[in-house]
Structure 1
Amino acid sequence: MSLLPDNESAVRAAAVFAALGDPTRLALVERLRDGRAHSIMQLSSGFDLTRQGVTKHLSALEAAGIVIRKRTGRQTHFSIERKTLENSAAYLASVSQQWDETLGRLETLLAKTRD
């Protein structure tokens, strides 16, 4: 019996972790952590990228379910999708728990063989 989440959870988590594996995307998520919606202009500030480049990274984050895009008139705003990050953290916690239990069993087995 595996403690790992079902395959669907693993696939979703892998998409999130792949999207977060890019330093620019990780920096964008960091900027969005205040929970407010930010325009592309706000998010582009301080990056060595064009707004189009930032938009490309935001689209990758959106595809992974990490950000939400909302269009109001001519403005597009992005905000963080906390549930996706919470689910990914829960996935990591599950994997961590499995490894802790596996290593605990190994430690017990090694202790028995030393005696």
Structure 2
Amino acid sequence: MSEDHQLRDVFDAIADPTRRRLIHLLAQAEEIPLHELTAQFQMGRTAVSKHLTILKEAGLVHDRKVGRETRFRLNASPLREIQDWVAFYSKFWSTNLLRLSQLLEEEEE
């Protein structure tokens, strides 16, 4: 699935702590089999698979079959949308805090 045809919003996909943890785990390895991912959580294989499906629909995860095993890997490029959004507001707040600081300095003088 290409980034242009995401079925799910990236912000929605990372809203859940379990999915953020899955992203973190996948960022530390090239590929991880489903059974190894499932072992990291106190939930069943079906629940982990559902979370991975949501990440896959957002373009954040790719999978491939190797025999009877499914392996997952991270595709971090959709996270750029979040990085861009945060960068915009980081600049917004930096600018406004600088203005506030200047205003406070002027009042002290």
Shift of residue 70, structure 1, vs aligned partner: 2.6
For residue 18 of structure 1, report the CA deviation from its aligned partner.
3.3
Aligned partner of 1:91 in structure 2 is 85
Secondary structure in 2 matching 1:47 = coil
Name the SS for the 1:100 alignment partner: helix
Q: Which residue of 1 aligns with 2:3?
A: none
Alignment partner of 2:40 out of 31, 38, 46: 46
Q: What amino acid does structure 2 have at the position aligned with 1:99?
A: W
- Say which SS state the counterpart of residue 30 (structure 2) adopts: coil
Count of residues in Structure 1 that have an aligned counterpart in Structure 2: 102
Aligned residues: CA RMSD: 2.3
Q: Which runs of 5+ in 1 are unaligned?
A: 1-11
TM-score norm. by structure 1 comes to 0.71
Letter in 1 for 2:28: D
Cα distance in 2 for partners of 1:35, 1:92 equals 26
Q: Which residues in structure 2 correspond to 1:1-115 (within 5 Å)?
A: 15-115=9-109
Distance 2:12 2:42 in 1: 22
From the superposition, tell whether residues 89 and 35 of structure 1 become closer, same or farther in structure 2 (CA, over 3 Å): farther
Query: Structure 2: which 5+ residue stretches go unaligned?
Result: 1-5
TM-score (normalizing by structure 2) = 0.74
- Structure scoring higher RCO (CA < 8 A, sep ≥ 6) equals 1
Q: Deviations over 1:74-113 (max 9, x none)?
A: 4322111121234422331222112101111122233324
**How many percent identity over aligned positions?**
32
